[in-house]
Chains A and B, each alone.
Chain A
Amino acid sequence: MADTVGVKLEARGVTVHYRRRRSEDHFLAVDRADLEVGEGEFVCIVGPSGCGKTTFLNAVDGLLPLTGGSLVLDGRAITGPGPDRALVFQQPSLLPWRTVLGNVIYGVELRGAITGAEARERAQRHIELVGLKGFEDSFPSELSGGMQQRVNLARALTTDPEVLLLDEPFGALDAQTRETMQLELLRIWNQTRKTAIFITHDIVEAVYLADRVIVFTARPGRVKMSVPIGLPRPRDLRIKREPRFLEYELKIWESIREEVMRSNDMEERVA
């Protein structure tokens, strides 16, 4: 799918170091990651915990400076956050003094492209989309973790970005809500066909959602494998039981397992 349409995002040798607070050395989190994401492609990234997935996504959002390589979006190097991208954070990260509506509107409010009644109307639509109708005036402290996470998602969707970056957005949800949200997300995505980069720990979720699943190596993260998912769309939830689906699942699972084993070996040898 990526070959037929233009390249939206191009990561070449992306390297990110974190500055360590107490020592002089730098901590390598992502090491020369290469990735191409096509226009309108849905890419899922999976990989062992702490391998640098969040770091990579934050770099794509423009929140972290690269220490090597390049990130190019629509032919322009990424130098900071922009209205063409929106990030759904791993933690809900809601403003506790704002209501649900106030939080969902926050993104568009900062961007300033649309204001007033129009912004409110759009926020309202996305609140309904994520199933939070009736909670517009609730404060985050009055919501469950899963509901907060849905506000986080609605906030990003409301800004109507070209590229949607999602960092384990459904990680905190229970199994049922999670599947509902997957369905909803695919429905939204089917309508708009926005480019999406979606991080998850859940291999089933990855295969179900993605055009392509990227497996990251153990830290420092790089791209280990790219698995195009040739399942037809629109995808029904029952597709998760089909042999082809299970084959993809197994392939990815083995690849991740190999990484986890390898990094454990490495740690043992160091110890």
Chain B
Amino acid sequence: MAVTDRATTRVAPRSGTIVEPAPVLAVPKPDTWFKRNESKVIGTISVTTFLVLWQSLGFVRAAWPQGIVLGGLKLAVPPTLFLPVPSEVILAFRDLVQGGELAQDVAVSLQEFAIGYVLAVVVGVLLGLGIGWYRRFSYAVDPFITFFYATPRIVLLPLLIIWFGIGIWSKIAVVFLGAFFAIVINTAAGVRNLDANLIKVARSFGATDLQLFRTIALPGSVPFVLTGLRLGIGHALVGVVVGELVAAQHGIGRLMAIAGSTFQSDKVFAGLIIIASAGMLTTLLLQRLERRYEAWRPRAN
């Protein structure tokens, strides 16, 4: 009798015996705005603090050009030449844009990156699928891949310049080589690590090799392929910048090289920010793609 329907008991307590509804422990409260955006808020605060501190270096520099004397200690403030502050970098950036060369440099670098990277993706994914799928083929090409993957591809640059000249093609080649191996190796690993049970299912329902490839190997290796693509971006950007530092007619790397050798560190920083933004943007796009393809993945929490 005591434990009757809780809802009715609460509304109409019978004969004085109020049966308390069971206390509901730990009701998950709706997350506050802060909790939902915790990572962004804390990240923004930390970056802003960093930028403010960095910028304040400029004020210190303006107030005490000779450095700060504390007792017997003299703290020198690094000159602009050595470490420009954010506002100076922005000014340098503006000058570069107004000067008109930046557009061309960006266009050239972008071209090298895009062509090299897309080539690496196409060839890398196709070859990686082939290597993962055909065991004998992998035996044949694995030694080469291991050799090149263990070697920093940048060391091939002098050779690539001899072969392709100092125009964009030597940079495209180095970008390609940079991204290619990460993509090949990850794609092949994705195909090799397929769930044996699923292959059995496909075989049981009479799958042809092509069907097995299309319905199991391809979707099953997507997460690995995307990881390869993401790792490839970093290598590709290194290729662009270093390639242009060594020998180029145009490009962000070349711009930075010239600025560096003429002690225009604010311009070096401007170039660095462009490269970093490009890397972050591409990675972000890929993460979006990864999330879309992994809707079926079990959530960790």
Chain A residues in the interface with B (C-beta under 8 A): 61-63, 81-83, 86-87, 89, 91, 93, 95-98, 106-107, 109-111, 139-141, 159
A65 smallest CB distance to B (angstroms)? 12
Contact yes or no, A110 B200, CB < 8 A: no
Within 8 A of A (CB), among B201-233: 201-207, 211, 215-216, 219-220, 222
Per-position contact with A for B35-51: 1 when CB-CB < 8 Å, else 0?
00000000000000000
Contact yes or no, A110 B207, CB < 8 A: yes
Contact for A89 among B201, B207, B219, B222, CB less than 8 A? B201
Contact yes or no, B205 A141, CB < 8 A: no
Q: Hey, which chain B residues are within 8 Å of A81, CB to CB?
A: 203-206
User: How far apart are the CA atoms of A93 and B202 in the complex, in Å?
Assistant: 10
> Could you list some 27 contacts between A and B, CB below 8 A?
A61-B204, A63-B204, A81-B204, A86-B205, A87-B204, A89-B200, A89-B201, A91-B197, A93-B195, A93-B198, A93-B200, A95-B216, A97-B219, A97-B220, A97-B222, A106-B205, A107-B205, A109-B215, A110-B205, A110-B206, A110-B207, A110-B211, A110-B215, A111-B205, A111-B206, A141-B298, A159-B205
Check if B7 is an interface residue, CB within 8 A of chain A: no
Q: Hey, which chain A residues are within 8 Å of B202, CB to CB?
A: 110
Contact yes or no, B205 A139, CB < 8 A: no
Contact yes or no, B296 A63, CB < 8 A: no
A122 smallest CB distance to B (angstroms)? 14
User: How far apart are the CA atoms of A61 and B295 in the complex, in Å?
Assistant: 33
Contact yes or no, A82 B206, CB < 8 A: yes
B209 smallest CB distance to A (angstroms)? 12
User: What is the interface of chain B mostly: helix, strand, loop, or mixed?
Assistant: helix
Rank and list the top 10 A-B pairs by shortest CB-CB distance, nearest first: A141-B298, A139-B296, A93-B197, A110-B205, A107-B205, A97-B296, A97-B219, A110-B207, A93-B201, A87-B204
User: How far apart are the CA atoms of A253 and B98 in the complex, in Å?
Assistant: 90
Q: How many A-B residue pairs have CB under 8 A?
A: 56
B223 smallest CB distance to A (angstroms)? 10
Contact for B219 among A95, A107, A110, CB less than 8 A? A95
Question: Interface size for chain B: under 10, 10 to 19, 20 to 34, or 35 or more residues?
Answer: 20 to 34
Closest to A152 in B: B201
Q: Hey, which chain B residues are within 8 Å of A109, CB to CB?
A: 215
Closest to B208 in A: A110
Check if B297 is an interface residue, CB within 8 A of chain A: yes
User: How far apart are the CA atoms of A87 and B215 in the complex, in Å?
Assistant: 18
Q: Hey, which chain B residues are within 8 Å of A141, CB to CB?
A: 296-298
User: How far apart are the CA atoms of A82 and B204 in the complex, in Å?
Assistant: 8
Supplied contacts A93-B195, A97-B219, A109-B215, 10 more A-B pairs, CB within 8 Å: A61-B204, A63-B204, A81-B204, A83-B206, A93-B200, A93-B201, A95-B198, A110-B205, A139-B295, A140-B296
User: How far apart are the CA atoms of A63 and B222 in the complex, in Å?
Assistant: 27
B174 smallest CB distance to A (angstroms)? 35
B197 smallest CB distance to A (angstroms)? 4
Q: Hey, which chain A residues are within 8 Å of B203, CB to CB?
A: 63, 81
Q: Hey, which chain A residues are within 8 Å of B219, CB to CB?
A: 95, 97
Q: Hey, which chain B residues are within 8 Å of A86, CB to CB?
A: 204-205
User: How far apart are the CA atoms of A111 and B205 in the complex, in Å?
Assistant: 7
Within 8 A of A (CB), among B174-205: 195, 197-198, 200-205
A17 smallest CB distance to B (angstroms)? 18
Q: Hey, which chain A residues are within 8 Å of B205, CB to CB?
A: 81, 86, 106-107, 110-111, 159
